[in-house]
Structure 1
Amino acid sequence: MKRLIIFFLILVIAVLIGIAVKIDPGYVLIAYRQWTAEMPLWFAIVSLCLLFVLLHALLIAWRSIKNFSAFYRIRRKLLRTHRPYILTRQGLFAFLHHDFKKAEKLLTKGLRHNRLAPINNLVLAAIAHEKHQPKKAEQAILAASRSASEEQMLINVLQAHLFMKNNEWPSALTLLQNLQAMEPENPLILNALKTVYIHLHQWRDLAKIYPLLQDLGEAEKDKDLLLAYCRGLNQSGQPDEALKMITHSLNKKWEDTLCELYGTIHVSNTAKQLKVAEKWLKNEPRNSMLYLTLGRLANRLNEWHDAESYLISSVQLKESREAYLELAYLYTAKNENEKALEMFRKANLLTD
């Protein structure tokens, strides 16, 4: 309704203007030197309005062109800045999916952005290693070192991992120990050191970093680490502490490897050690490793009858060289030489 009223008013005004122009159209005279222009008043007014509209349209068009040009420049700059990130992201996805050819291509393109160069070079080093190209891997590591000093620690840890994979364990050990001296609680360094210590059987050194690994939550997740740590405690003159750790772990979750180590640790109170192990029979009544451990401990206490019973139960459940050797030592101690020779023979057969 409101629009209809407005339209009606405009129509009335237009009619009135038309009538006024018809009665007295008037005129406009423009003179400049020898040049003159004469036109009706209404035509001059309409021409001015049209000129205003045209100029306004041209101004809007000019602003649009300027804005588009600015937008295009910004867009190009953003694309130039973000393209390396996109290439790096795509390259990392390809690397995780083991598409090394595609990953190498994308990451190489992404090297053009200096801030991303260390990341790209590190992954390119890993790809080169997977493709058995040690020289190329080393070149990528060096490139990463040159382009980012703040990532130097990560680069050195990766270098240590490459040493490990190339069986250069002493080089990895030296590098990681130097790194740990600078950052004693760095989880990347500690986990790499753990791997080196276990491989080189350096149990005492492993025992030194075990508390730090416990703080990281790694010790509880890695049964091999606990086994290695307990060996380290035993070899460094702390058998009681090693026994305590093993007992605590076996009471929570059974592991044959820990049970085997339990039987090889010598403490002052072997009788108590045997009694603790005998309690495990309730939950592990048919475990050959547990019977072997019980036999070893009983042998150590010169309890020949119990030792023989445990060891025979062990080989009945599962033959093992260790159980036959323990039986051989037992029969030798009892001067039952024929039985001892038979046990040695069976142990040798399992060795072959």
Structure 2
Amino acid sequence: MKRLIIFFLILVIAVLIGVTVKIDPGYMLIAYRQWTAEMPLWFAVISLCFLFVLLHTLLIAWRSIKNFSAFYRIRRKLLRTHRPYILTRQGLFAFLHQDFKKAEKLLTKGLRHNRLAPINNLVLAAIAQEKHQPKKAEQAILAASRSASEEQMLINVLQARLFMQNNEWQSAFTLLQSLRAMEPENPLILNALKTVYIHLRQWHDLVKIFPLLRDLGEAEKDKDLLLAYCRGLNQLGQPDEALKMIVHFLNKKWDDALCELYGLITSSHAAKQVKTAEKWLKCEPKNPVLYLTLGRLANRSKEWQDAENYLMSSLQLSEHRDAYIELAFLYTAKSENEKALEMFHKANLLTD
């Protein structure tokens, strides 16, 4: 309705203007020196309006062209800036999918942007390590060192891992110890130290960092770590604590190596240790390692008949050296020397 009224008013005004122009059209005279121009007034008004609209349109078009030009320049700059990020992201994805050739190509292209150079060089060093190219890895690490001081911690951890790969364990140990002094709870440093401590059998140091690794969720995932930690506890005079950890883990998830260690640790509660192992037979009735463990525990408790039965059961399931050696010790303790010699002989044959 409103639009209709406006349209009607415009129509009335147009009619009135038309009638007025017809009665008295008027005229406009423009004179400049000897040049003159004469035209009806209505034509001059329409011409001025048209000229205004034309100039306004040209101004808008000019601004649009300027804005488009600026937009194009900004877009090119953004693309030029973001391309290295895109290349780096694609390179990292390729690295995670172990497509090292593609990752190396993409990350090398991404090096053109200085701010990304440290990240790219670090991943390139990791790729070189995976491809067993230590010289190339060292070069990438040096390049990362030159391009960014703030990533120095990452660079040092990677350098430590390179030491490990080259069997320079003492160098890795020294470097990581100095890094941990600066960042005691850094997960990257702790994980690298864990590997070094296990290799160098630094049980005392491993026991110290184990609570931190457990908080990070590493203990439950890493069986080798738990195995080394329990060995460390036993060597540091805490066998009961080690056994407690082993039982807790084996009750959740079976592992032969931990079961074997369980039988090698001497507890102050030997009878309880045997009963716990016997309960596992319900879940692992045909496990030679479990029978070997029970045989060792029975041997230690001087339960000769039980020890012999367990060890023979272990050998029936799988013939292995340790069971023969335990039987040899058993027969030696019972003064059955011929049987003991026979067991030692069989153990030596398996060794050879």
| Fold conserved between structures, TM > 0.5 | yes
Match of 1:341, as an amino acid?
L
Match of 2:296 in 1: 296
Identity %: 86
Match of 1:107, as an amino acid?
L
Match of 1:273 in 2: 273
| Matched residue SS, 1:36 | strand
CA pair 251-96 structure 1, distance change in 2 beyond 3 A: closer
Match of 2:342, as an amino acid?
E
- The aligned runs of 1:180-329 (5 Å cut-off) are 180-329=180-329
CA pair 168-333 structure 1, distance change in 2 beyond 3 A: same
CA pair 39-172 structure 1, distance change in 2 beyond 3 A: same
- The aligned runs of 1:152-163 (5 Å cut-off) are 152-163=152-163
Match of 1:142 in 2: 142
CA pair 324-143 structure 1, distance change in 2 beyond 3 A: same
1:98 is the counterpart of 2:89: no
Query: 2:176 and 2:281 mapped to 1: Cα distance?
Result: 43
Match of 1:109, as an amino acid?
K
Query: 1:114 and 1:175 mapped to 2: Cα distance?
Result: 27
Match of 1:327, as an amino acid?
L
Match of 1:73 in 2: 73
Match of 1:348 in 2: 348
Match of 1:113, as an amino acid?
H
Match of 2:72, as an amino acid?
Y
Match of 1:199, as an amino acid?
H
Match of 1:305, as an amino acid?
Q
| Matched residue SS, 1:37 | strand
Match of 1:27 in 2: 27
1:85-116 Cα deviation digits (max 9, x unpaired):
11211221222233333322322232233322
CA pair 71-244 structure 1, distance change in 2 beyond 3 A: same
Query: 2:279 and 2:14 mapped to 1: Cα distance?
Result: 112
1:12-54 Cα deviation digits (max 9, x unpaired):
6555544544443322112233332222222222221221122
Match of 1:188, as an amino acid?
L
| Matched residue SS, 2:281 | helix
Query: 2:158 and 2:168 mapped to 1: Cα distance?
Result: 13
1:55-108 Cα deviation digits (max 9, x unpaired):
111221222122222222322232232222112112212222333333223222
CA pair 145-277 structure 1, distance change in 2 beyond 3 A: same
Match of 1:294, as an amino acid?
L
Shift of 1:131: 3.3
Match of 2:137, as an amino acid?
A
Query: 2:186 and 2:15 mapped to 1: Cα distance?
Result: 90
Match of 2:51 in 1: 51
Could you tell me which runs of 5 or more consecutive residues in structure 1 were left unpaired when the two chains were aligned.
Answer: none
Query: 1:209 and 1:342 mapped to 2: Cα distance?
Result: 46
Shift of 1:230: 0.7
Q: What CA RMSD, in Å, does the superposition of the two structures yield over aligned residues?
A: 2.4
Which has the higher mean CA deviation after the structures are superposed, 2-11 or 136-145?
A: 2-11
Number of residue equivalences: 352
| Matched residue SS, 2:39 | strand
1:117-145 Cα deviation digits (max 9, x unpaired):
21111112122223333222212111212
Q: When the two structures are superposed, what TM-score results if normalisation uses the length of structure 2?
A: 0.90
Match of 2:243, as an amino acid?
L
